[in-house]
Amino acid sequence: MRAWAQSHKGNTSLSLKRRNAAHGIGILLGVGAFVALVGAAHAAEGDKLGGNLTICKGAYALCAAATCSPTGNQISVRTSNGWASFPEVNCTCPILNGDAIADVNAGNMQGSCSPPDSQKIWSLYSPQLEIPQEANNWTRSGREALAPPQWCSAKLNAGETISNCFSFLCDIAGSAPNGVPLATCHCPMGESFGGTKVPAATAFITQAGQLNNQICKQHPVTWYNPVTAKDSIETTSK
């Protein structure tokens, strides 16, 4: 009986993990379908996607699968109520080329897709299932580049340590040994997409870690606006 219970518990945990991953993948694919429609319409740089979102073209840093390190400094963030200050983290992110989503009136962007000089680049977002990651030596494609979304539970109390790199400025930082161009992005820690402080007991989704849940407490970048403190997936799965 004990063996059955342990097996059942393990199966439940695995099933929950699969449901959580499927939830994240569903969101990612939904965003991907939306961007595909934009691409099909031949969006030009600066075209509005609704709300404050804009398409930018060319080189950009993609930090969706990155973990970051606190610097001990503060970073200023544009919000609907003016500028706010948050703890700063640095994130090393690959540079990609193509169409990317930006909010040119958020983060620390200045109303344009153009970076301030040739040694700077913006951290933007595009839906990708494969992303070069530092943990796997910046492999460009294949299994080691997979970046499946994972759900980080509110019970981890890690919400206030997440990194938000959407529409923030980066320094171009050379290339990895395999030639992947890199950027060092300066991002706020514990800031929501709305410019407010994220409570510790907040669930979120990240593409960092390849489903290794320990990454949830290593200042991962989240591209999904943190949800409420109640972890709805775990609650409904019990």
- Contact between 216 and 206 (Cβ < 8 Å): yes
User: What's residue 51's pLDDT?
Assistant: 58
Q: Which domain holds residue 13?
A: 2-237
CA dihedral over 168, 174, 180, 184, signed as positive or negative: negative
Question: Number of structural domains, the chain?
Answer: 1
CA dihedral over 36, 49, 151, 124, signed as positive or negative: positive
Q: What is the pTM of this model?
A: 0.79
- Contact between 137 and 87 (Cβ < 8 Å): no
Query: In tens digits, what is the pLDDT along the chain, a chain of 238 residues?
Result: 334 334 333 443 444 444 444 444 444 444 444 344 344 334 455 555 445 789 999 999 999 999 999 999 999 999 888 899 999 999 999 999 999 999 999 999 999 999 999 999 999 999 999 999 999 999 999 999 999 999 999 999 999 999 999 999 999 999 999 999 999 999 999 999 888 899 999 999 999 999 999 999 999 999 655 554 444 444 333 3
Ramachandran category for residue 31: left, alpha or beta (phi over 0 → left; psi -120 to 50 → alpha): alpha
- Contact between 48 and 170 (Cβ < 8 Å): no
